[in-house]
Amino acid sequence: MRKKRSFDRDKFRVLFFNTGLTQAEFADLIERTSGSVSQYLRGAATPGEDVIYKMATALHCNVDDLLEDVASEEPILKKKTAPVREGKIFSRDKFRVLFFKSGLTKAKFADLIEKTPYTVREYLRGVYTPKGGVICKMATALHCNVDDLLEDVVSEEPIQAEWPILRKQTEEEAVAFELLMTAIELIKNARDMLKDIRKGE
């Protein structure tokens, strides 16, 4: 099957976030706008060949580090959405080891896998279980194989059954709940400050 080379957004995201550059700084280096860089990171636009060469220079890497082989008959990035291996499940313990070894912050890792820092925290705690596509992105961000994040299924019981209530929550509901708790905490702090002011009077 004929192969062709195509821009690999996931590889670019990893290399870009590892530089510590802002989108504006990187845009200046490749002579593009911050909006264009944002689109490249989100996959909303694909850079041309001349831009890819400038990216490689700015990121101090080879052009091949920003490309992937794509079968001409298959859609780009199909391999990124491959299902998790049959008979395997996500291993929170393996993920925790690889994540903490990477030295990445939750925020930076969240950017790499296109999730929120809160969701990353829940993956680490075992409250949420990532799906196949997210696991593939995790492997890319952690520079490991997908199998390094999986383990054999040893039970028919639901994963993380010890968290029955939290497991029923959607990610959006959990984020909303955390925001509500933060708001309540702010209200409490404001009330305490008001009491102190009144005491001073």
Q: Are residues 180 and 139 in the same domain?
A: no
Structural domain contains residue 83: no
Distances, alpha carbon 116 to alpha carbons 64, 107, 128, 162, in Å: 30, 7, 12, 24
Strands 88-90 and 150-152: antiparallel
Residue 98 contacts residue 160 (beta carbons within 8 Å): no
C-beta contacts of 32-41 below 8 A and 24+ residues apart:
40/9, 40/12, 41/9, 41/12, 41/13, 41/16
Q: Within this chain, do residues 158 and 180 fall inside the same structural domain, yes or no?
A: no
* Same-domain check for residues 153 and 174: no
Which of 84, 95, 89 shows the shortest CA–CA distance to 136?
Answer: 84
CA 9 → CA 12, 47, 65, distances in Å?
5, 10, 11
- Check residue 132 and give its pLDDT: 80
Task: Answer yes or no: do 148 and 173 share one domain.
Answer: no
One domain, residues 158 and 106? yes
pLDDT for res 171: 66
Here the CATH number for the domain that contains residue 19 is: 1.10.260.40
Residues 13 and 56 in one domain: yes
Q: What is the pLDDT along the chain (201 residues), one digit of tens a residue?
A: 445 778 888 889 999 998 888 999 999 999 999 888 988 988 888 898 889 999 999 999 988 889 887 655 444 444 443 444 557 888 899 999 999 998 899 889 988 998 888 889 889 988 888 988 889 889 899 999 888 898 887 654 444 444 444 445 566 776 777 788 788 878 888 888 888 888 776
Q: Are residues 7 and 67 in the same domain?
A: yes
Rounded Cα distance, 62 and 76, in Å:
21
Domains contained in the chain, number: 3
**Is 141 in the same domain as 173?**
no
Domain C-terminal end among 49, 73, 97:
73
Residue 36 included in any domain: yes
Whether residue 155 is found in the same domain as residue 185: no
Separation of alpha carbons 28 and 145, rounded Å: 34
Distances (CA, A) of 15 to 8, 104, 136: 11, 13, 16
Give the end of a domain, one of 23, 38, 73.
73
Residues 92 and 149 in one domain: yes
Domain assignment present for 46 = yes
Residue 82 lies in a domain: no
**Domain limits for position 188:** 169-201
Residue 85 · residue 34 · CB < 8 Å: no
**Does the predicted TM-score (pTM) go above 0.85?**
no
Decide if 79 is inside a domain.
Answer: no
Instruction: Judge if 63 and 119 occupy the same domain.
Output: no
Tokens found for residue 20: 């510590």
Q: Give the angle subtended at the CA of 8 by the CAs of 71 and 51, to the nearest 5°.
A: 115
Q: Look up residue 189 and give its amino acid.
A: N
